[in-house]
Structures are given as structure tokens and as C-alpha cells.
Structure 1
Amino acid sequence: MFRNMKISLKILLVILIMSLGSLVVVFSASYYFMNSMVDEFQQTNITLGINSSEVTKASLMSQTEYYLLQLIQKQANNANKELHEVNRAVTEASKYTQHLFETQDNLIGHDMPRPDETEMGVASSKYFLAKGVEATPEVMKEVYTLSYCEYMFAPTLEQNPILDNIYIGTISGISYRYSRSNAFNPDYDPRQRDWYKAAISHPDHLVWLPTYLDSYGKICITAAMTYRDADGHIAGVVASDVRLTSIIDEVMNLKIGETGSTLILDSDLNFIAHPDMDKEGFNPDLSSHFTGSDFIKKIHSSDDSIIQTVYEEKDCYVAFSKMAETGWIFCASIETDEVTAPAFEAKAQNDKLTAASQRNMQDQIFNILRLFMIFFSIMGITVVMTSFAVTGTITRPIQRLASSVLKIGKGEFNEKIPVLSGDEVGQLADRFNTMQDDLKNYMQNIKKVTAEKERIGTELSVATNIQAHMLPTVFPPYPDRPEIDIYASMNPAKEVGGDFYDFFFADETHFAMVIADVSGKGVPAALFMVITKTLIKDHVQQMKGKTLSEVLTEVNNQLCENNEEEMFATCWIGIIDITTGKGVASNAGHEHPVLRRAGGEFELVVYKHTLALATLPGVKFREHEFEMHPGDTLFVYTDGVPEATNINNELYGTDRMLESLNRDKDLPLENILKNLKADVDAFVGEADQFDDLTMLAMKYNGPK
């Protein structure tokens, strides 16, 4: 009866005899409640940390918005005050000049020197007459009247350092100037100048002209206003040039955190100042610097505001304030990540404190559990001594089962395990007998699967050979064409890869080079590679007057058709006229090429990419013209070179690549590429290669 009893009942009988049931319940309940307490404490701290972080983040954002807006409003107000002073000075100069002409019958005046009769750098009055204007008594009377302007213009210029000069153009063609410069143009006629025409179009009102660069390259603006004679007729225009250097420098030199910057726009949203304005390739279109139209809409609808938007491809806060005097817009920005960083740091610190508290509570629980275990061990010894008498009935069947299982493990699948009892051990023996039959079937299946894998391996080997023979592998490929030397290599990460290179003559004088990287690896990438390579070569050889951009557009559209797997390929292609060295290239999302001028170093050639092939139909691809001189070398490659990774997860990078190329720059092309491959392998070491590694180099020797 006892022999046929289930093992669970035998163990339960022993536990009941020793009255251990209550101990297990107490132990389990205590452990459960203590762990629940720790979990609840941890969850509460996490919730508090998150709430605190959100409150801190909101507070930081609010403070930043207030500070940024106040800062840029202050700058706009300061600039407005300075230009308002200019407004006042020019207006007063106009009124003074008008008063002189209203009372000119009571004035005597005197003649004044011509510009070339004055000393350069010393402020003084000078005048000259426009071409065709004769010094009649009426004209000279105006000149004598204008000689009184110096008494008002001199202190005005001295009190307003921002003013560069004050000058007058009359209806009669007189040009008067109070300035430090003695330069003049004999063909100069003030009546034909923009400042004169603008003021005449708005009589009795001060007008501001658009900004411009003076002869010293400094940005300036002109203020102008008409004046009248004793009969109330417009007699001329008073104007002054204002150098904006101090205003712009004060705004552009503002320090706003680590990522902040400023810019100034005129009333037509044209750039007056920008941190990158003097850099080559700067785009003057405002919309190219702001993603979306929310910022521009906000400018049109408000004079002072702050908005969260994407500026220079970064999520930023941008505050702006308009000048009442000129309508210019002063802007200040700071990246959102910099604003919210302290909140995230505070949350991280709170998480550390929470983790430390949790560890302390777990240590206390461990001490309590240790006391339980000591007591439980004492009771366990008693249980073991009591149950020793019944262990034989449990262990002997298990030992027999173990002996039979050992034979099965050695391959004796015909060995049957005797079933001597009806308990769990007997059921286990029966299950092992069933498993024995399953193992026989499994071994037979393994043999079939192994044979199938060997067949697939053979087919992959054939595919690798086919792919290798699709790429040009004979070097030199054109021994009868001394204009060029070329060498290329491709090392796939798997049996078959997605990279490829190609080169061929499109006609007698135009040589084409292609290198590409297909997304993915293995057979699918190889198939897509074959299609891409074939389409590119066919379309280039049949260009017939088409541009390289049009060729890539046609290839791209064909690749997009039925591309259900959504594969794509980055590609660099260049076509060079070997008689002139001039060529054109296009980069579809590929790595930047490297160029070495004769006697120079290999250097990266960086320019804007277009989207990769097969990403979107109808894409127009950028073209870039280039010119190679005899002795120049071009090197192109796939991302397997710079993105090769060692066991420390470090990238090989373009700096190491250029260093390796320049180390062997005077060797033959084949040696340069092999040495670079060896350098990459040495860097990678024992790390697995996850990407294909493909390179192509071409040296231009010049025409025959």
C-alpha cells in the first residue's frame, strides 16, 4: 500500500508528522508581506520622483521662457532707444536746416571747401555740385546758407557716436556733407540716390532704408527726412548713415547657456545677423532654419512672444521682440534639452536614494529570514531523521531509473525502463520509455536536417562564387588605357553580401565608377544588389544626353516598383571625362568620397547627400561637378570601413581611415587598399564583422 502511494503523499505524511505545516505558512506569509512592503515603498518613491521631476521641469521651462523673453526684449528696447536717438537727431537736423532756409535772406554765410580740399579723418563741412549744375548766384546762395549747418551738425555728430556722418542733397543738385571722409565721386548726384528718393516719397516724415554693407564691410542703415524753404516747398533731404556694429555685437555676443544663440531679422524677415551668416553655404531663406511654419506665423501675429519650435534641427525655445523704430526682430534661442537637464539629473539622484533605501530594507529582511532559516534548519534535521526510514522506498526506484537513463544517453535506445510502482517514479519511468521512442525519431530527423543544411551550404557557396564573378576582379582591367589606374575589393560579412562596386567606359572618353551598399545582408540583399547594379550600368550606357541626376531618377523609380520588402541602397556614382579630368558625381545617401591631389594628402570631400535609392519614387538627385588633375587619386568605400567595430564597441571611423590611407599614399592602389583592409582587421580583432567591407580607388594619369 505504501509503495504504491504517490511521492507527494509520502512527503506530506512526513511533514504532517513533524507538524511543519504551520511553520511553512508563517515563514511564507512573513516573507510575502515584507517584500510587499519593500515594493510599495519603492513604488511610492518612484512616483514621488516622477512628480518632483515633472514639477521641476515645468518650473525650469517657465523660468526659461520668462528669462529669454525679458532678455531679448531688453536688447530690442536698447537698440530701439539708440535708433530713436538717431531719429531725433536727423529730425532736429531737418528742422534746423529748414529754419536756415526760411530765414536765408537774413544770412550771409560763406563758401566751403570741396571734398578733396579737406583732410581725411577730420570732421568738416564740404560740398560739390552734381554734374550739369552751374554755380549760379542762386545756387551759391544755397551753398552759403548750408555753411551754417556745421554749427548744429558738428555737436550732433560728436554726441552720437553711432552716426557716421550727416549730409544733405538739395533739389538744385548741391551735395553737402559733414563727415570725416574726403572721398567723393564726380558723377555723384544726390537726387538719384535711394535715400533721397525714399524721403521725397514720404515728405516731412523720417524714413529708414534697408541695411547695407559700407566700404569697410560694416553693416549700416540710413535715416533720411525732407526739409522745406520759406515758401513751403521741399528744398532737399537731410540724411545720416548709422553703423550698426555696436548694436549687432551686443546682441550676437549674448551668452545664453551652453546651446543658446541669437539672430536679427529685418521687417521683411531677411537676416541682418546670424552666427553662421559669414560661413560659406549659409542659406538666407528663414524657412530653411525653422522646421514648420509656426515660428513665422507667430512673428506675423505678435510683437513679443516665445515659442517652442525646431530651430537648426534642434528642439528649442525661441523668444523674439520687434523694434518699434524699424520693425526689426531680435531673436534668442536655447535648446530644450539644456533647459530640462537639471530636472532629469534630480530624478536620477532621487532614483539613487530610492535604490539605497531599498537595499537597506532588503538587508533587514535578510537578517529576519536568516533567523527563520536557523530555526527551520533545526526542525529540518528532525524531519530528516524521521523520514530516513522511508527514503529507501523513494530512492531505490529512482536509482534504477537513473541507471536505465544512463544507457539511453549512450545510445542504447532499445533499453526499456522497468515500471515497478504506480507512483510518480513509475509514471516517470513510463514517460522515459515514451521519450526513448521519440529520441529514435528525433535522431532520424537530425540526419535529414543535417543533409539539408549541407545542401544549403553548397548552394550558398555557389551563390558566393556567382556574386564574386559579377564584380570586376581582373586588375588592371584596361591595360591599353594609360589615362587611369583602378583597383577595388569587396569582402562580404556573410556568404553573400549586399555591397557592390562597378566601373566601365560609358563611351570612348567617359569612365563611370559606382559603389553601393544595399540594406540587409545575405541572399535578399545580394538579389537586390544584382538588380541595382544591372539597372545602373544599363541606364548609364544608354544616357544619350541625359544628366546623371536623370539617370539615377529613372533607376530609383524602377527600384521602387514592387519593392514590397522596402529594401534600399545607398550609392555613389561618378563619371569622368578622361581627356579633360572633368566629371560629375551624385551621392544617394552614401559615405563621403576621399580625394588626394597629386603630392598631397587624402582628404574627405563633404557635400550634401540625396535620399538613398528605392526609398521614395520621383526623387531628384543632386549632381556635383569635380575636376581631377594628373596624379590625383579618388577613393570611395561603403560604411563597413568607418563603422567597423572592435570588442570595446569602438568605431574604426573616418579619422583612422584617412590616417591609414595617408600612411601608404605613395604605394600602388592595390597595396593601399590591402593595407587599409589589414588595418581594419587589426582594429576589429576578434569582434564579429557585421557589415560588408567594399573599397574602390582610381588614379587619374591625364590624357594620352
Structure 2
Amino acid sequence: MERTKSLRIKLTFAALCGSVLFIIGFAVSAPVRSFVLFNQIEKQERSTLKNITNRAENYALREEERRLTVQNEAISNLLSTEFRLISEDVSMLRDTFVAFLEHPERYHPRALPNALYEDVKSETPYVHFSQRLLKQGLNPQIEKEIKAGSNIADLAPFFSDYYKCVFFGAESGYTIAMYVMSQPDDLVPVSRNPARLTYDPVSRIWYQEGKGYVGTNFTDVYRAQTGDMTVSCISPYYVNGKFHGVMGVDCSPKWVNELVKSIAVDKNDLYFILSSKGEVLFVNFDSDAIRVTLGVDIRNSEEKSLANIADKMVEKKEGFDTVTIRGKDYFIAYSPIKNVNWSFASLIPVENVYAPSIEIKDHLLKIKDSYYSKLKSSIVLVVISTTVFVLLLLFFIFRRIIRLSDNVVNPIIRLTHDVNKFAEGNLDKRVKLDSHDEIMEIAESFNSLAQKLQDNIKNLSEISAQKKRLDAEVNVVNEILVNYLPDNFSLAEKYGFDLYAKEYPAKSSGGDFFDFYMLDEGHLVVSIGDVSGRGVPSALFMMISKAVIKSFCKMNSEVSLGEALHKINNRLHEHNTEQMYVALFIGIIELSTGRMEYVNAGHYAPYVYSAEKDTGSFLIDGNIDSIMALNGNISFHTRSTVLNPGDMLYLYTDGIISDRSLKGEKFDELMLSEAVLKARKNNLTSEEIVDFSYKTAVDFIGRDSFTDDIALLCLQRK
């Protein structure tokens, strides 16, 4: 019995000691185990966070390199095209000026203000005599030459929106030019002292460089008379095979900046243009290292990385690299500009590229800190609970602690495993847990962040770039189209004609246009046309076509309208590498009699109202001629009709008859003619007829926007 009692005591003591030792061991091992596990998880989380951040930074860098490279190539191609068009403008002006000088008997003598004696303001064509010319004497031949060449003033205003100066400098010492100053009332440089007494074109840098050119070419940067740093497109010109002088245009940095902004995704993008001598020609940001400075070659810059990039640009290389400017790091993409011996570069600060990945890292750090704060609280609670309840229910508490530990650790391990899979590149990986605690909230936060990151990576760059580019292109094109069309509707009013026209641009701009101008004091030219295609190319081709048509009609007024269009077509076809075309209706009206000669080159037939018959009809008398610019050497037939008192001519483009209503019904030519006839019979003005016909089309299709541009023109003989 005693042995049994002793054994029980020993067993009890042993059990008690074992229990105490177990309690002490568990009480010590539980927090130690938890904190060791906590440190391991934290270490693994730091590694995972670093992997995610690195992958985000690498992806952002690849996307920015792709964006900058593609954007840079697009801008370089646009600039190449624009510089080619500038060369063509200079060639056209040069050839026209030479024609005036070689055949002065064909043109009326023209007298322009002489800046040597008069105050000449901005956008006013003028002539200037150098002191050298005055000392030699103005012989009759030079006077005849100057009066004939002054006819170029009719063309100069057409280029005032694009060039700061159009100039012709003769070897004999006279200058014919037009300046666009910053203010309309500013005097041109040669109309101010002492320049008006000292200026001689042959002493200018552009003249000295231009004498050695063959055809058109662009100068290096030089200081213009206005004091601005300027680049010019110039060409020597020859009269009867002999060198006679140098002419050209000054390129505007503001115009170059607008071209770049029309394509650039971000209006704050930085760029500069470098010449073949390493000189900065254009730049849109302030920097001591990169600025337009006469004779400064940035290949010799103290910024070594910038000097290395400049070497590559001068060598006509293209690429993507990093550069440091005034202690700030940039990514730079550069490529050569075709048609000129220059190179274009665009830059973006490195910090802007990595900003999204830094934002992701900060967000994940906030999530991690929140999680560990909750985890620490849970561990403390577990330790306290274990110490209190293990004395009463050791086995239950032991099982409970193990289960609680598993409930905490297993979701964390699963979360860590799935996050690592995501960090390794599996962007479709998501965390799946069955728990309903703080860890589940962390998992849901991570899943939401991962989905947003994946969606943003896939869509944000592409959607933003496309939208900004399209918005910029449409806004620029619409603004150009509206400002480029004439608006002096009263020019034929004194002859008893009521004229009005209007352009309704669509969201996706095309190439519709109208034009009207006096051919001479007794003849009015009206025209309407539609260029193929959409967007900036069609708008540019439209403006070129409109300018060429007007210029050739005025210079070929002695030939028939059909012969003039034959020449215009050949000129438009000559450089039409993109196979664009123009559908055109043009008429010349003798204002005293109402007789109109016209040519329809593939355009919709106009609607003509006859007051005598009190009705109208479409002007179709024979086959319509071919569209213009697509093929060369095409004949155009001149036809005629008479607009008697009370008659009306209504011109339109296909945009007003191409859309359908919500019911699928089309507003066709018959409906348009009925609306115009109704308005005419109500004795409305030309402006009211245009507005009424457009409003009728809008009411029919049930919306106030069309998928294509609309151009309308109405002319009534009172």
C-alpha cells in the first residue's frame, strides 16, 4: 500500500513535474517559435517585394523605350515630310519668281513699298535697295526686273502661317521680302535704322551659303535680323541660265513645336533637333547644356554622356540610351530626319519612368506593415491565452495552440507561395484562402492590387497613347481647316451677288474644302472639293491642293479653265506618292453677265435654281471629268451656263448625304435638293439657305454630328 501510495506520489509528482516542465517549455517555445516564424516570413516578404518592384521597373523601362522609340520615329517621319514640303514650297516660289524675271512682258508691273524710304509693317510685302545698288544706279533693266518680280507678293501671304520670312535677294543689291513679326504693327528689320541704310543681301550668311547650293537646302543656325536664332530653307535662282541671287524662307521654332506636339503622347515631352555640325537648331526646354546657340557644338560639351549621344546623332545613328544633363538623368531616343541632314531626339526624366513602380512598392509596404502589426498583436494574445488556460486544460490548450498556429502559419505560407509565383512573372496567379480573418483581407487586397496592376500594364499605355494622339490630331486638323478657309463673303456683293459658305468638320477630319476669290475685277472663282482619306495626311494634301489650284488659276487666267486644270492636275500628280486624289468642282463667273465657265472633276453635280422656271436641277451636261492628282496628262472639259438674275448655285460635298438615321434611312441628293428649293422659294439669303439645308439633314438623321466633313457654298444673283 505504501509502495502504491509512493508510486502514486511519484507518478503524480512526475506528472506534475512533467506538466510543469511541459508548461514552461511550451510557454517558452510558443513565443520563440512564433517570433522565429515571424522573422522568416518577414525576410521572405522583403525578397518578394524586391522581386515585384524590380519586375515592375523593368517592365516600365521596356514600355517607355518602346513608346519613346515609336513616337520618335513617327515625329522624325512627320518632320521629314514637313521639311520636304518646305523644300517644295521654296522650289515653287523660286520657279515662279524666275518666270516673272525671264518673261516680264507677260506680267503687269507691280510697285511695292520700299523699306529704304517707308515704314513697312509686319506681313506687308516690300522691296529694299542697298546703298551699293543706289551708287551703281537703277538702270531701266533692273527697274523692269524689280516691278515684274514684285508680283511674287501675291503668293507670299499664303505662306505667312508657316514661315517667319519669305525673301528674295538679288546679286545686284535689291531685296523683295515679307516678314511676320511678333506684333502686327511692328516694323520689319530693314525698315528701321541703321539696318535700312546698311543692309545688303549679299553680305548675309544665308546668301553666302546659298550661292554654293545646288537646289534647295537648309542652313545652319544663324542670327536673323530680328535677333532670333533662325534656320532657313534657301535656294539659288538662275535667270536665263545665269546666277541671279538667293531666295528662301525662315522656319519658325513655334511651328516645329506644334508639329511635334501633334503626335507626342505627353505635351510635356522634351525634345531637341541637332544639325550635322552638332549645333542645336530647335529645343523646347530650358538648359544651359542644350540650347540654340550660334556656333556651339554640343559634342564638345562638358556633359560627357550628352557629348557621346551628340556624336551618334551626327553620325545618323538611331537608338535608345541614358544621358545626364545638369545632374539629372534622362532616357533619350534619337533618330535621323530624312530629307535634311539633321537628327531628332526626345527625352523623359528617369524618375518619371519609375514613378509607377515606386507607387506600387509604397502601396505594398503599407499592406505589409499593416499585416505585421496585426500579426504581432495576434502572437501576444496567443502567448497570454496559453499561459492562463494551459493550467486548466493542458491537452485542449496544446491542441488549440497547434491548431491556432496552423491556422496562422498555413495561410501565410500559401500567401507567400502565391505571391512568389506572381513575382516570378505569372501575372494571372491569385491567392485562394478559406480563412475569414485579417490574412484573408490581405489576400483580397493583394488580389485586387494584382488585377489592377495587370489591367493597367496591359491597357493604360496603349489606350492613353491612342486617345491623346487622336485627340491632338483631330483638334489640330479641325483648327487648321477652319482657319484656312476664306470668310470675306462680301467681295461680290457690289456686283449683285449674295455669297456664303461654311465648313462643318467631323470628329475624324477629312479633306473637304471650299474656296472663293476674285480672279480679276470682273470675275469671281468659286470651288468646292473633297480629298481622299482621313486625318492629317488628307488635311495637308487638301491645303496644298487648294493653294495650287488658286495659284495656277491666277497665273493662267489667259487660258481656258480646262487647260488650267490640266496643268494643276499634272502638278498635283507629280509628287503624289501616296496616291491621294481630289474631287473638285470649280467655276469662273463673269459678274457683269452671270455667265459661268466650269469644270467638274469627279465631284457631285451642283444644284442650280432657275428663277425663270421657278425650279431647280442638278448641273449635269455630259460626262463628268476624271478626279484629279491620281493620273497625269488628263484632259478637262470647260462647260458653261448662265446665272440670270434670281438664279442660285448651291455646292456641297458628300458628307451631308452619306450618313443614315437611326432607322437606317439615308438623307440623299433628292432630299437635299428639296430642302434647298424650299429655302430658295422662301427668298432666304445664301447664309440662311446653307444653315437651313444643314439643319434639315441634322433633323433627319437625328444627331448633330456627321462621320465625314461637310462643306457647303451658296451663290445667288440678286
Q: TM above 0.5, one fold?
A: no
TM-score of the aligned structures, taking structure 2 as reference length: 0.43
TM-score of the aligned structures, taking structure 1 as reference length: 0.44
